[in-house]
Structure 1
């Protein structure tokens, strides 16, 4: 039996061309996030020298940006790991976790960014103008390039990396496995569907759960973000159902596995970011929702994300075990 470049049977490899694409995309992700990192480091240094924004206290601003500095450093390291050979030798658990969180933060924003860009080009007022206008244009451009480049790089490099490293988890069709229904997963899917419907209602202009004192914060940009969150929550429900029920039988396995991984990361990562913001309220941060509604939705979203990831990892381990290889985690 011939062997592929990663030591797997050749028929499970992705080929030299896709490996090259992965390396390029990984470098794009790392270099793009380096621009974001540079801006954040500059902001922290400026605040420590007494040049922070007027609407944030120095400590709040430094802590907030210090967190994003750590996240950006992790993003750069992740991009390099996806691009370099040594990334294939890293332990599976940290690779999966940081890939999951990073992809969950950024990749789901790609459709939102496209729609936002089109509406902006058409002259549609998205709202949030004061905040976006407060940063110098060069810094805003660097931040935008950092987000977009990292998101595109992850969207391209990560699936190829996972396919190369754990090929059996992604080849074949959904019907090749055995159904894995369970009560906790069913409950998680129901919760995710409920969150998706709630966010869809907010995206369409609904006001259920919104605080009348802060409804003016709910501009078109916020509604687009809720539409994005709703989309990925509902995609998560569909893909997890496909994995656990093995239906549609002819569906290629990599589609629900990839979508479930991304949706789980989106539910988990964004709510892990927003929940502390809701509780701590740095710089007078306020949400359009009632505080308790915000806390409950983000706590539920975190839990659902963890359950969905567990479904993906269990399916990957079972497929890899059946092929005699080690699965992720």
Structure 2
């Protein structure tokens, strides 16, 4: 475990360092737009462009802080709920964008900007972005994703070793966890998978579906279905073929993907539905998209609530268990 802990600490520093180029580029965009030295992204007003990039600057700063919190001593003193929430949301963004970046590169699509713009339509595409900036942005996402994937489990093992233990029995007097998050996540995932496969129902502009849109929607569908299946397995408390830590990881990442990405897209989609901007076109019917994103946010939060509740039960069990907490059983 000492070697794994050293690797995790190194990965945490790497995750924080990987986001620095992203942060610098975003700050440059904001300052350049304010001074009139850099153009505003297509599909945005100056105010909207500044708000969007200011928000992403805050997200990058939070990601750097998270990476350092996973390795520095002060990170162990931060309230666990705060660390967990930031890590959950950050992981949700990254596990969606990493496959998107790789698959987009393989198919040769230039639609990567649709993810960075926070929408599934053509809004925010900036054909004037230099190639080296796009490479640095993608490298930041990939480096941070890989770093956090290694650093976070090591941090969890140091701070909450009982979280990776399979509960031997349900807590006394504990009511069964609800199944509705698994059901709604499955429905949302199937709808997205239908769209990613080219299904026409719920699509308003069929010609506005580039390869990148299919990939991004398909990745979201896969994570939603994975979260639905794994949380259902955890709720049933029956022996599963997959290792328990893997079930936890898939549930954590899938629910985070739904909550983070749909929470990011939902305000933009609502804006398009209400304002009808002439230079922004979404392939899907915006009313249907809003309903799916809202359902995904609620499903992700419900699944995370199930995980937190299960962790509370394991904590109570561990407190009554005389065996050393840090040893897996």
- Normalising by the smaller structure, the TM-score range is 0.7 to 0.9
After superposition, where does 1:194-213 map in structure 2 within 5 Å?
194-211=187-204
1:147 alignment partner in structure 2? 141
Instruction: For 1:89 and 1:311, locate their aligned partners in 2 and report how far apart those are by CA, in whole Å.
Output: 25
2:35 aligned to 38, 43, 49, which one?
49
Q: Is the 8 A contact 1:203 1:226 kept in 2?
A: yes
CA deviations over 1:251-302 (Å, ceiling 9, x no partner): 4321111111111111101111101111224974332111111111111111
- Aligned mates of 2:250, 2:214 — CA distance in 1: 22
Question: Judging changes above 3 Å, is the alpha-carbon distance between structure 1 residues 163 and 285 closer, same or farther for their aligned structure 2 residues?
Answer: farther
Runs of 4+ that moved beyond 6 A: none
Q: Name structure 1 gaps, 5 residues minimum.
A: 1-14
Kept in 2, the 8 Å contact 1:171–1:252? The answer is no
> What TM-score comes out, normalization by structure 1 length?
0.85
Does 2:219 correspond to 1:228?
yes
Alpha-carbon spacing, 1:177–1:114, altered in 2? closer, same or farther (3 Å): farther
Q: What's 1:5 paired with?
A: none
Cα shift at 1:247: 2.9
Counterpart CA distance in 1 for 2:63 and 2:111 is: 29
Give the distance between the partners of 2:134 and 2:240, measured in 1 at CA: 46
Inter-partner Cα distance in structure 2 for 1:288 and 1:302: 21
Q: Distance in 2 between matches of 1:266 and 1:250?
A: 24
Q: Which residue of 2 aligns with 1:239?
A: 230
Q: 1:54 to 1:17 in 2, by over 3 A?
A: closer
Q: Residues 255 and 82 of structure 1: is their aligned pair in 2 closer, same or farther, counting only changes over 3 Å?
A: same
Alignment match, 2:150: 156
2:2 & 2:141 partners in 1: Cα distance?
Answer: 28
Q: How does 1:1-329 map to 2 (within 5 A)?
A: 15-50=1-36, 51-53=38-40, 55=42, 56-120=44-108, 125=109, 131=125, 133-172=127-166, 176-178=168-170, 182=176, 185-211=178-204, 214-249=205-240, 251-281=242-272, 284-324=279-319
- Measure, in 2, the Cα distance between the counterparts of 1:217 and 1:102: 29
For the residue of structure 2 that corresponds to 1:86, the secondary structure is: helix
Whole-Å separation in 1 of the counterparts to 2:240 and 2:263: 34
Going from structure 1 to structure 2, the CA distance change for 1:193 and 1:181 (only over 3 Å counts) comes to farther
TM-superposed deviation, 1:140:
1.2
Q: TM-score, normalised by structure 2?
A: 0.85
Deviates more, 1:104-113 or 1:129-138: 129-138
* Distance across 2 between alignment mates of 1:199 and 1:248: 30
Q: How far did 1:134 drift?
A: 2.3
Deviation at 1:66, TM superposition (A): 0.5
CA distance in 2, matches of 1:259, 1:186: 17
Structure 2 gaps of 5+ residues are: 114-121
CA distance in 2, matches of 1:267, 1:145: 23
